[in-house]
Each structure stands twice: as structure tokens, then as C-alpha cells.
Chain A
Amino acid sequence: MSKVFTDIPIHNLQQVKPESLNRNIDKYLEAFNGTLDGHNFPLESVVTTDFFLPRDSNSLQDTAAGTDVFQRGTSYSTQAYYQTRRSSSFEPTITDVWTPCLTINLDNDSWSKGFNLLTEFTDFEDFPLTFNAIEGQLVGCATIDFEHGTQVFEVVVSDDPPLSGSRSRGFEWWSEWGVFVNNVLVARSGLIFPRRHTVQIPFTVPVGSQQVTIDVRFITVTSRAQGSPTLEVTSSEFNIFSAEIWVRNQIR
């Protein structure tokens, strides 16, 4: 339904008939009940201040989310919005954007050569977005600010005269992020070669009326430089500065 206009006029001293009271109001009631189109929505309605904390059964289930992960959601008659975020810019335990909120030492920490669940790492336990979806479509985007750098080390570049110089190494190192909805990979970033990078992965997937968990996982490929006498640290660290998922559950 597009914008609603007056259906029948009301003048002073006009006879009051049932339709003079009902007809115009019915149109507004229909709008309240969900017969809406783009003209009913404000031009800039989807802004942060319009998000509200969960209040009903469609809202976020994960009330245990602590201060290290920020989550919220709100539902309207035709759509619902959910967001989860752990960010070095906003969350109180972290100070600035240059400090990673998660550092994985690829030499010493435990990680997998396949897809790594973020929940396996410190302070990311509450990160997955879990909510009760209504049949329709999920449309969203995952944004991850991360770094998998090259490794810089000194190598001998000339025997005579003896010279050494800084060299960067990272040949065929890469990382890849994927968005998983109920453990099904629905979107992936493609290979990202060593750098700090903010990756945005849009995704859309049909959904039933069911509980849905959305999370992001990564694969990383690095190498151990065996036998290099000048090397002590053989891999650069894998840093995550922020991770965020927002999703819209489009109902009708």
C-alpha cells in the first residue's frame, strides 16, 4: 500500500454515516497492520538511534552477552534488524583502533588449517548472532577489520662484501573469511593476501521460522621458515581489530 489519502470528506453539518467514521481510518489501520511500501518509511530511518534493545520474542536470545560483545536487535511489522559487534573502537575493554581485540600467535597458539570459529578465541565466545528468525529472507553484511601481515627479517644479500638487508616474506600466504548461517557457508570473501584489510562480506539467504545463528570464520595460510638461522619468530601474528555482523530479516 502506498501513501494513504482521504477517502471520503467530512464537512460540518454533514450526516454521520458508518462509512464517514470508518473508511478513512481503515486505511490507516491497514498501514499499521503492515500494508506498507517504501513511501511509508522515513528516508533515513535506519540509523543507529532507531535501534532498540530487544523487547519481544523475536529479539535476541543471547542476553548473556557481556561487555566484550555488543548485541542488539529490534523488530518491526515487515522486518527485523540484528547486530553483533566486537570492536576495538567501541567496546570498553579496548582502548584504540590500533590495538587488536584479538591476537593469534600463529606459531604458538592453537588454530586450525580449516575454518576457525571465532568462538574458540578469548572474548569472542558471545560473538555469534543468535535469534529467532521469521520465514523470509536474511540480508546482511559482515565487516571484519583484521591483519595478517608479512614477516620482515634480515637476510644476507651479499657474501662479499658481507651485507644483509630487510626482506619481507609472505609468498602464498593468504586468509579468507566466510559467513556461516546455521553452520552453512553462505558467503566468502575470497583470498586476501597479507595486509591489514577491512573485509565486507554481504550475504543473503532465505530462512524459515527457526532459530538462526550467524557467525564468521576464517582460514589462514602461513608458513614456518625452517632453517633460517636469523629467524626466531617465523610467522607474523594474526590480528583482529573488529568484527561485526548485521542482518535484516525481511518478513514480507
Chain B
Amino acid sequence: MTTNQTHILLVLITAYSLTACVNTTIQEAREASTSLSSQESIVILSRKHKTSGETESDFVSCVSGKTGGGNDALSVMSEREFMDELFPWFEPRTAPLNMKDLTDVISRPLISARIRAIGVRYLVWVEGTTVRSEESGALQCTVVSGGIPACFGFLSWESGSDYEASIWDINRGINVGKVSSEASGTSIVPALVVPIPFIARVQNQACISLAEQLKTFIRT
């Protein structure tokens, strides 16, 4: 490998590992005490009845994965598995939208028996999205003399994640509280021959924060 190639490789590796700063704010509102036995689990669901502003499925998967892993992991059933187990009661257009609807649904013997069988204690409804805004700048790539590709310019954009999780206790039929996670950051891509992206991974940070807060909320 030539020196030039080594430099390019180093720049690319460095660029890949660079991330821009992300500011995160977590809030919590508790309405009742919570606890989770070793036989019980939670499920993290997204609202799908709206035609816009639907929570990204990869965010829900991320929160499920992070809540079900790491230190103090909770037992988490996947959204799809839960929907299948309780089909057709938690489909996009049939899922209960409030506690009264949920109480009506789980008062049915078939449903309550299935919920007992699968051991789900808490439903966590996640709402919110990540949006990208205030994009500015321009970046152009071309092949310069000698056949070397090169990019010049500067790009930047703001990203903001705003998610809220409502936690419902199925056993008691009550809303036990809410946890919200906001994250924002500015991503920039300066390019002087090689573009170097500094990406603000706001959604990932919001996911990690929300998952950690959910663990703390439900465990205590």
C-alpha cells in the first residue's frame, strides 16, 4: 500500500468514527408505582393509526432492543409477536387508544387469558419522530486531473428527535406514567477533496436515553 493510499484509508476511518455533538433531554412523569417480576415482560408498541408522523419502526426496534439488553435489562416481547398473539385486537386500526378502551379489551376472557399466558405486564406506547431541518450548503464531486475523484463544499443540517412513551399497566388497568426523550444536533460535512462527515446521531441517542429511562422507571 502506498503512502497516499494509507493516508486516504486513515482519513476514511477517522471520518467514519467522527460524530457530531447531540444534546439530549429526558423527562419523566410518574402517576403510580411500578414493578416487574421475573415472570413478567413489557412490550413496546408504536401508534400506527395516523396517516402522518408515524414513529419509525427501526426506532421502536431500537428501544425494544436496548430495553431488553445491557445492564438491568427488562424482559421485552417484540411488537410483532405481541400483535400476533392478540390478533386482531392490537392492529393499527383496532388497538385501544386510551385506558377505557384497553380496559374494555382486556375484560374479555379470551384476551385476559392470553395476556396472562404470555406474561405481558406493561404496554409502552411510543409516539414521535425524528425530523431533519435547516439544511444548507452544497457539495460537488468531480474527477479532477489524474483521474482522482474529489469533492468540495460544505453541507449542514439540524436533526431533532422528540419521542414520548406512555406506560400502561395491564394488570391494574391504569396509566402509570410517561417518559419522554428529546435529542437535537447539527450534522456537518466539510469537503476539501475528501468529504468528512460529522453526523449527529440524534435518533440513536434518543433511543438509548429512552430505553435507559424506561428501565429505571419500571424497575423503581
Asked if chains A and B come from one complex, the reply is: no
